């Protein structure tokens, strides 16, 4: 087996930025990005502790990363199997469910953090 020569650091960054550009074409990623941008903006507008701000930022990037992973695996599955396959559909459903779990946990924690900052809790 022949090993591929490692890429240069600039080439690795180019590939990473191309991946970000590709996912920016996805509607679901743009929705998550908008929600995350709103949450991070609010985290700096409202009086929150540094810890709460870090949690909001971390959750935002975790959700975006989960969405990117979901998109990457879906592209791979579509490449491997062009026709509809019930097993591939199940894998895609599980991936979407994983993104939903990340998103719901971020939403619940965000409601708790912002609710306390606004005096609702």
**Binding-site entries:** 5, 26, 53, 67, 74, 92-93
Binding residues for substrate, as ranges, are 5, 53, 67
Angle, in degrees to the nearest 10, between helices 86-117 and 27-45: 10
Catalytic annotation, residues: 67
Tell me the CA distances in angstroms from 119 to 9, 44, 56, 81, one per residue in order. Answer: 48, 17, 18, 51
* Helix, strand or coil, per DSSP, at residue 30: helix
Tell me the CA distances in angstroms from 15 to 9, 24, 48, one per residue in order. Answer: 10, 14, 36
Angle, in degrees to the nearest 10, between helices 50-80 and 86-117: 170
Binding residues for a divalent metal cation, as ranges, are 26, 74
């Amino acid at each position: 087996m022949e090993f591929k020569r490692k890429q240069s650091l600039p080439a690795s960054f180019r590939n990473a930025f191309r991946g970000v550009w590709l996912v920016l074409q996805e509607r679901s990623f743009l929705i998550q990005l908008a929600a995350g941008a709103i949450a991070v903006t609010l985290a700096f507008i409202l009086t929150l502790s540094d810890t709460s701000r870090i949690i909001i930022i971390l959750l935002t990037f975790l959700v975006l990363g989960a969405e990117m992973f979901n998109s990457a695996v879906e592209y791979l599955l579509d490449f491997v199997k062009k026709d509809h396959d019930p097993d591939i559909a199940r894998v895609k459903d599980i991936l979407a469910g994983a993104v939903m779990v990340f998103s719901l946990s971020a939403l619940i924690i965000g409601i708790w953090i912002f609710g306390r900052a606004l005096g609702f809790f």
